[in-house]
Amino acid sequence: MVKIEFLGPIEQESLEIEANSLKDVANFLQNIESINSWLDRCAVAVNSQMCNDLSKKLNSGDVVSILPPVCGG
């Protein structure tokens, strides 16, 4: 199982799903209406490392973080 966590203002509890790659995570999240509307503006981290590669392989226990637009300072 892969854990998906939603950071900042995205009001969604963490989810656990079966996924072999980030592509599987994308397909899963695109089918959740309240999450899908965020996806075009969100970045992704796998195990706290930023990741831009949709083909990134995932292993059981990996944590995928969804990061919406930021504004520090």
* Interacting residues toward another protein by CB under 8 A: 7-9, 21-23, 25-26, 29-30, 36, 39-45, 48-55, 65-73
36/59 with CB nearer another protein:
36
Q: Which residues pair with 6 in a beta bridge?
A: 66
- Taking the complex as a whole, the smallest distance from the CB of residue 13 to another protein amounts, in Å, to 16
- Taking the complex as a whole, the smallest distance from the CB of residue 50 to another protein amounts, in Å, to 6
Q: Quick one: CA dihedral 12, 41, 68, 26, positive or negative?
A: positive
Cα 39 to Cα 18: distance, rounded to the nearest angstrom: 19
